Amino acid sequence: MDGFELLHRDGLARIGRFSTKHGVIDTPTIMPVVNPNLPTLAIREMVDLGARTFITNSYIIRRNQALREKAEKHGVHSLLGFDGPIMTDSGTFQSHVYSDIEFDNLEIVEFQRKIGSDIGTILDIFSEPEFSYDKAKEAVMETHRRIASLPPVEDMILAGPIQGSLHKDLRKLSAELMSSTQAGYLPIGGVVPLLENYRYDDLVDVIMASRTNADFSKPVHLFGGGHPMFMGMAVLMGVDVFDSASYVKYARDGRMLFPDGSRDLSRISSFPRWSPAYGKYTVQEVRNLPKEERFRVLAMHNLAAVFNELSEIREQIFQQRLWQYVEARARSHPYLFRAFLRLLDYSGTLERFEDLSKKSTFFYFDHYTEKSPYFCRMDRNIPRIMESLGGCTRVLSRENWHPGRPHGPEFIAEYEASSHRFLIPWNNRLIPVELDETYPFQQMITSGLESSEFTRYLESAVGAGSPPHHDAVREFRLEKVRRVADYQFGPGMGDGLFPDSTEVRVSRSTGRIRSVILHGSLLATLRSHDGFFTLGIEGARRLHSISPGMLNRVKVTRDSAEFNAKGYNVFFKFITACDPDIIAGNEVLVVGPDDDLVAVGKASVSGREMRDYRTGVAVKIHRGSSEGEAKGGDQD
């Protein structure tokens, strides 16, 4: 396997693909569990519903003589009647339940390779949620020992499960250990008891500790995570693949899966339009079907529910709206909402993986939204900027500024005649007025649920401490571009990037800032959709000269640098080092081995991810150093 190819991202959530011997697996997706002893639905029926890959149990196949002989002779694909990617489990759960099985790790891995599995799983040690720390650590270390002791496995992607019970540091350790092995695929194991008991809040701890410490070039799989109500949140945390027999188990009990939970057949009045049963049966007709036929109809419905939800999740990722989708969906069930509150505890971690801005509008629901990653980013950055600037502040009333419109001459005159730092109210926060057009401050739809305490604070703070006016002490547009640069590249970067002699040009048609020019050369353009900068090569040179160490940098090999200087994109495999705090979607400086600036472009992923990926474009280059400078164009 060449590694995971990233196509679209939304924080940790990603649409991607990876190759197997029998085809490409597009993610996020689910592998329906197929029991060769007890076939439920025909493979063709499941493919028609959306299945493109399956999982079956190699232990069950091996211990059944007829199944084993057919699999060994013709392969597991012939056994199942499917020529696409197939993953096999190892019998870990059976070993856990029955204490012992008749095959060791090497034997079961070799059997999976022999029958042609695309993804084969080691015989890991299952760790129950209630395991003590010492017992869970023993399982982690033994699982790692087993995979480390295997000879190189060829012609099959090896899955190395991440274990560790509910102990977050052990999940972190297991993720790091498994990432360092020949495992090309990383399932999160030991979670079925949590899923079966709706302990989604504990699952958040498990997934976050596992995903954020695992190699990003390897797909992450949540064993047993097949209920559609939790899939969106799991994908938001970076899960790429699910497997589940829930479509069968729920059907056996007369229950039906829906995006917001499960419902008994005896308590519904109609089928949704996406259900295979819609238009074919009435609910009463299904109730009256023979047991096995009723079971098949419900199993088809349940599988359709899963693939319907995955389709919606993929679209939400593409639109970069998955967080608000999950935030809204969390209100559909108390267990899910409890998990969402636990997820908010990780906003500081999640913020590291969020893009500089999104193509979707930012939704403000209520005070819980204020604990989201973008609020976390502003709560970290804005105080640092204000501290670096010093001086006194003044809070403006809402009547003195107009979000979404250029500032009028009266406001600009007041601003330029004052040395105060002007702040404006925004969803229970105060932000510098210079940032009012940057994401997410302007690109937002709000419920307007402002706290009464904040409202009372504004009433007392507006206009307090205004100094007497005097001759102009600063130029509003220049200060605006400097503060945007501080927010985008780090406190203090704005003054160094845009000196006093900088010319700020505006659009004749909109009055908005369009470009920043110095001595006739283009330093940067201000993007209208998110209010952030795209740097020119001269702006990159200035940023390079004032950014210490690896700040804002991606270092590449000398061979790559020669091509990047000509304007060609940077590929992951040529990166030798990078700033770990790079924000996805932000401007980065591409430098050679000696820190010589070779290009400027936009990072496709965060700095934490950039060191792991091996396939695809890491930086989309705007301009290389050998292409020359862009001159300041005319105003439109």
pLDDT tens per residue across span 247-305:
999 999 999 999 999 999 999 999 999 999 999 999 999 999 999 999 999 999 999 99
CB neighbourhood size of 75 (10 A): 17
State residue 414's pLDDT score. Answer: 85
What is the C-alpha to C-alpha distance for residues 206 and 503, in angstroms, rounded to an integer?
52
Contact 268, 297 (CB under 8 A): no
What phi and psi values does residue 616 have, to the nearest 5 degrees? Answer: 110, 180
State residue 433's pLDDT score. Answer: 93
Average pLDDT estimate for 503-525: 94
Q: Is 89 a catalytic residue?
A: yes
State residue 635's pLDDT score. Answer: 39
State residue 38's pLDDT score. Answer: 82
Q: What is the pLDDT of residues 172-190, one digit of tens each?
A: 999 999 999 999 999 999 9
**Burial annotation 598-627 (CB, 10 A radius, 16+ → b, else e):** bbbbbbbbbbbbbbbbebbbbbebbbbbee
State residue 600's pLDDT score. Answer: 98
Q: In which band, very low, low, confident or very high, does the pLDDT at 628 lie, cut at 50, 70 and 90?
A: low
Catalytic member of 10, 89, 201, 202? 89
Domains of the chain and any CATH numbers = 5-248 (3.20.20.105), 362-474 (no CATH), 490-627 (2.30.130.10)
What phi and psi values does residue 521 have, to the nearest 5 degrees? Answer: -105, 140
Q: What pTM was computed for the model?
A: 0.94
State residue 244's pLDDT score. Answer: 87
State residue 97's pLDDT score. Answer: 54
> What counts of helices (H) and strands (E) characterise the chain?
25, 28
Average pLDDT estimate for 527-543: 96
Average pLDDT estimate for 153-168: 97
Contact 199, 166 (CB under 8 A): no
Q: Where are the beta strands (DSSP E) in 416-512?
A: 421-426, 429-432, 444-446, 503-506
Angle at which helices 322-329 and 291-318 cross, to 10°? 130
